[in-house]
Amino acid sequence: MDDKTILPQIQYTDDELIKDFPGFTNQYAMVNGVRLHYVDGGSGTPLICLPGWPQNWYSYRSVALPLAKTYRVIIVDIRGMGSSEKPASGFDKKTMATDILELIQQLGLSGVHIMGHDIGGMVAMSFAFNYPQFTKKLIVLDGSHPSEGRMQMPLLPAAGTFKTKMDANMPYAWWMGFNQVKELPEKILEGRFQYLLDWLFKYVMIDESKMSLFERALYASVYNEAESIRASNAWYQTFTQDIEDAKLYPQLAMPVLGIGSYVSYNYMKMGLPYVANNLKVIPVLESGHYLFEEKPEQVLDAVFHFLAS
């Protein structure tokens, strides 16, 4: 997409978007003191799906319908995302995992598979750490629970590595620091989130054209308001608490699948073995960070094989 392209301001409602998910319905639930939006479709063993930043439940579009032929697929807008409530606190991943626990209990589910991308992967891992008795299998895509290693992320990029595409060996994720800042990002980005999105998709995707104009406008509308920016940045501002919580967690015993793009595979391959006993990590090196958009077929193949094994 040309950086100068100005998209019309269109309101993207859940009621309109669900039309792209035949067989799914919009639902809302009050859990752990917060109102969550989720979509529900298919039948079979429940598979909880958690999106990441800066997207919402619609990001699972390319994989939800095939998965719903075999599984009951429940895609949740996590606390602070999309149509879910944006409270003042509770954005540590342990609290957000409890949101998901109370949702599945409200739905009468005794155990689930859980899958998360990016921030959603952090919440999915926290759910597995804290509620292993409810976790059948865990899948994380380009995102794992914050650990002390995150404290080593560079403030400045290594010479020659900060270019138009993210460097796989020396990735520079400057937004990890920017999103720590309180109040200022809302003032800078409110009504202008499209500029950040377009830059980000170009930087972390191999083929940015796989993120359509429709999706770009949708996600800009989801994050354009100050409250949405404030709440989503809070996912990052709790990393220090998440790191402290992680020090107390036992290793994961359930089967775990990690799926890593070219920007994350090496780090997932190194880090996940420290926390999971029954682990498989698969590279999708032909894709950037947004795997559902760039390589949905490879993601589906890996997920189906893992869940069926």
Mean residue pLDDT of the chain comes to: 95
Question: Where are the chain's structural domains?
Answer: 14-308
% of the chain exceeding 90 in pLDDT? 94
Question: pLDDT digits over 82-94, tens only?
Answer: 999 999 999 999 9
Q: Among residues 118, 142, 198, 242, which one is catalytic?
A: 118
Q: Which of 121, 93, 128 is nearest to 244 (CA)?
A: 93
289 is catalytic: yes
Q: Could you give the C-alpha distances from 284 to 39, 114, 119, 172, 269, in angstroms and in order?
A: 27, 20, 19, 20, 12
Question: pLDDT digits over 200-210, tens only?
Answer: 999 999 999 99
Q: Tell me the three state secondary structure of residue 95.
A: helix
Question: pLDDT digits over 151-183, tens only?
Answer: 999 999 999 999 999 999 999 999 999 999 999
**Would you call 7 exposed, middle or buried from its count of C-beta atoms within 10 A (0-12, 13-18, 19+)?**
middle
% of the chain exceeding 70 in pLDDT? 96
Q: Among residues 37, 117, 145, 289, which one is catalytic?
A: 289
**Residue 4 scores a pLDDT above 60:** no
Residue 223 φ then ψ, to 5°: -110, 5
pLDDT at 11: 62
Q: Among residues 203, 236, 262, 290, which one is catalytic?
A: 236
**Residue 3 scores a pLDDT above 90:** no
pLDDT at 7: 41
Q: Could you give the C-alpha distances from 9 to 18, 55, 185, in angstroms and in order?
A: 19, 17, 20
Q: Which two tokens stand for residue 202?
A: 């170009």
Q: Which two tokens stand for residue 171?
A: 């990735």
Q: Taking residues 77-81, what's their average pLDDT?
A: 98
236 is catalytic: yes
**Residue 252 scores a pLDDT above 90:** yes
DSSP 8-state symbol, 164: S
Q: Taking residues 106-128, what's their average pLDDT?
A: 98
Read off the pTM: 0.95
CA 115 from centroid of its chain's CA atoms: 9
138-173 burial, b if ≥16 CB within 10 A, otherwise e?
bbbbbbbbbeeebeeeeeeeeeeeeeeebebeebbb
Yes or no: say if 185 and 179 are a contact pair by the CB < 8 Å rule: yes
pLDDT at 12: 87
118 is catalytic: yes
Domain 14-308: CATH class, spelled out? alpha beta
Question: pLDDT digits over 144-156, tens only?
Answer: 999 998 999 999 9
pLDDT at 9: 45
